């Protein structure tokens, strides 16, 4: 296994960008750091093969890992009858978007992040997640619809209080 | 901030900036690789050893404290013709080992049912397990290699094991937690992998380092999958992220990746050669170290290789040992590199004919025995 210098160079240069994507995928600082770290560790055995163009593969591992992890932890999501009091305006747009993203399924969230943050094509998004282009399209459609509905609900709720 | 991209970018500004030094990540990656290589080599040896004993009859899990499976010949023949559209009998709680189980739509559009193929008799019928809530690929039941036990998760994530010989049902509503609540996961929600006839693995904990292992007569125990002796370590897809050994290294078979594809074969030395393995993107089972089961996707449409709804249910057995890499595709990220060697009929055997439901899991030892009876598959 060779190429540590290349690996280190990549980590130094690209870790922050990976953390940004990971934060959108997880919505949590600790999880984002853990996700990036896990992805980087996973690619080490393959580094000799990908070192010329590692970014795509690392991001693929990152995206798939984020979806896989959720599979084992969905029990942590808690439903509640209590409506959050937080209302979203421009100043709290980040919080609102973060909450909206958290309400999406992990795969919907991953598709949305890869398409609209990392600017991958539908085909590249499909390849990164190991799903079909059709599934990417349907996830995008459903995710955008859910985001729109969530914001509409919030705005209605704000208007009545 | 009008576009979604802008809003996401602004949100990403809150991302953390920390992380372990590159040297530490590198060291941990190398250590994990060495341990996985050792574990995988052990896995292939054990799987191979189990496979050699199946041709003469069904085998018991052994040493498990539960009832012995009745001896008998494998009554199935290949290719399997799934009884599409037929109303099937209820197999009851003790039908005996199954060669395969499918998640199938109910007759007339009813709720999905689990359909089993009884290995001794070749009879199809419905199995007494609830599957209507299984919507994802990783939720499908896992069938042990000897066909005796089915593992699946309840709707709320608790592991359930159904013994098709004794009728025993094992169920664990509570599992231990490895400390930090954020590291505590139920082990049924990530899918299962049967390493052999008596060892069930399920992932738990952060990342992929923790998992539960269960064998009949014991309670599940939490282990470190990296260091646990005998771990199959085939990833989080309950056996569907396959790794193969190439030149001493275990490699993921990554499907549809524009960057990294897979190198197959245990004796191929060309480290720099990589090629696509399109039909293997949906690995349904591993028989020994040389045969894989997967859906045959003759269209080879990029992005659809992993889609369980893409295809017609045809399952093929592929001998990978003698597959030769066709060309080096690494230089072109946009290309789909054809692997024509899989078109060789000598390397492809139809296990299930077209028309069967896509969601299927196999008792790989029993299918391997049936392949042997039909003259081998590789």
Comparing B85 with B184, the larger pLDDT belongs to B85
In order of A68, A78, B135, the CA distances from B178 in angstroms are 19, 21, 29
Whether B12 contacts chain A with CB within 8 A: yes
The verdict on a CB contact (< 8 Å) between A68 and B23 is no
The verdict on a CB contact (< 8 Å) between B256 and A127 is yes
Tokens 């999958």, located at residue: B225
DSSP B31-98: HHHHHHHHHHHHHHHHHHHHHHTTTTS-----SSSSPPPPP------SSB---TT----B--S----E
pLDDT bin (cut points 50, 70, 90) of residue B264 is very low
Phi, psi at B371, each rounded to 5°: -65, -40
DSSP B285-312: EEETTTEEEEE--SS--TT-TT-TTSS-
User: Would you say residue A62 has pLDDT above 50?
Assistant: yes
Which residues are CB-neighbours of B21 under 8 A, at least 6 positions away?
none
The verdict on a CB contact (< 8 Å) between A119 and B5 is yes
| For chain B, percent of residues with pLDDT exceeding 90 | 16
* DSSP secondary structure code for residue B241 in this structure: S
Centre a 10 Å sphere on the Cβ of residue B373 and count the other Cβ atoms it contains.
14
Dig out the tokens for B52 from the structure: 């050699």
B326 in Cβ contact with B339 (< 8 Å): yes
Region of residue A61 (left: phi > 0; alpha: psi -120 to 50; beta: else): alpha
B109 three-class SS: helix
What pLDDT sits at residue B261? 31
Question: Which residues face B98 on adjacent strands?
Answer: B118
pLDDT tens-digit readout, B91-109: 999 999 999 999 988 777 7
Residues of A in contact with B186 (CB under 8 A): 72, 75
Q: Which of A94, A103, A79 is nearest to A153 (CA)?
A: A103
Residues of B in contact with A126 (CB under 8 A): 256, 302-303
B102 three-class SS: strand
When scoring A112, A130, A134, A136 by the number of chain B Cβ atoms within 10 A, the one with the most, hence best to mutate, is: A130
pLDDT tens-digit readout, A127-157: 777 677 777 888 888 888 888 876 666 666 6
């Amino acid at each position: 296994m060779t190429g540590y210098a290349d690996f280190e160079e990549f980590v130094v240069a690209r870790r922050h960008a990976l953390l940004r994507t990971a934060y959108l995928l997880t919505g949590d600082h600790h999880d984002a750091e853990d996700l990036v770290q896990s992805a980087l560790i996973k690619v080490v055995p393959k580094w000799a093969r990908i070192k010329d163009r590692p970014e795509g593969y690392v991001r693929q591992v990152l995206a798939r890992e984020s979806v896989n992890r959720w599979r084992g932890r969905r029990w942590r999501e808690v439903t509640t009858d209590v409506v959050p009091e937080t209302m979203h305006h421009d100043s709290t747009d980040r919080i609102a978007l973060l909450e909206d993203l958290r309400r999406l399924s992990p795969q919907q969230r991953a598709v949305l992040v890869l398409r609209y943050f990392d600017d991958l094509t539908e085909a590249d998004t499909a390849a990164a997640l190991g799903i079909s282009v059709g599934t990417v399209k349907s996830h995008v459609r459903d995710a955008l619809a859910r985001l729109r509905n969530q914001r509409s609900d919030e705005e209605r709720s704000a208007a009545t209080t | 901030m009008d576009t979604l991209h802008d809003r996401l970018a602004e949100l990403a500004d809150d991302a953390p900036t920390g992380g372990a030094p590159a040297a530490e990540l590198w060291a941990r990656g190398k250590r994990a690789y060495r341990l996985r290589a050792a574990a995988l080599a052990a896995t292939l040896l054990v799987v191979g050893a189990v496979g050699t004993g199946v041709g003469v009859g069904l085998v018991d899990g052994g040493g498990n404290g539960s009832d012995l499976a009745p001896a008998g010949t494998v009554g199935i023949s290949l290719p399997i013709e799934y009884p599409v559209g037929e109303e099937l009998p209820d197999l009851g709680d003790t039908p005996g080992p199954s060669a395969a189980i499918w998640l199938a739509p109910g007759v007339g559009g009813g709720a999905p049912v689990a359909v089993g193929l009884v290995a001794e008799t070749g009879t199809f019928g419905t199995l007494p397990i609830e599957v209507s809530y299984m919507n994802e690929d990783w939720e499908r039941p896992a069938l042990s290699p000897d066909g005796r036990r089915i593992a699946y998760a309840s709707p709320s994530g608790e592991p359930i094991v159904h013994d098709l010989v004794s009728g025993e049902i094992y169920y664990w509503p509570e599992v231990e937690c490895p400390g930090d609540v954020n590291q505590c996961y139920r082990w049924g929600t990530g899918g299962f992998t049967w390493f052999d006839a008596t060892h069930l693995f399920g992932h738990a904990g952060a990342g992929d380092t923790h998992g539960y292992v269960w064998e009949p007569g014991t309670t599940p125990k939490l282990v470190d999958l990296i260091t646990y002796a005998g771990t199959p370590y085939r990833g989080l897809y309950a056996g569907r992220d396959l790794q193969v050994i190439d030149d001493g290294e275990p490699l993921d078979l990554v499907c549809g990746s524009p960057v990294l594809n897979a190198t197959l074969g245990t004796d191929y030395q060309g480290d720099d050669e990589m090629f696509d393995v399109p039909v293997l993107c949906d690995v349904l089972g591993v028989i020994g170290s040389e045969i894989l089961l997967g859906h045959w996707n003759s269209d080879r449409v990029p992005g659809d290789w992993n889609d369980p709804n893409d295809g017609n249910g045809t399952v093929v057995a592929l001998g990978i040992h003698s597959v030769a890499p066709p060309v080096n595709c690494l230089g072109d990220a946009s290309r789909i590199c054809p692997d024509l060697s899989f078109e060789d009929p000598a390397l492809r055997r139809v296990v299930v004919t077209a028309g069967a439901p896509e969601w299927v899991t196999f008792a790989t030892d029993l299918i391997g025995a049936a392949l042997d009876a039909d003259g081998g598959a590789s």
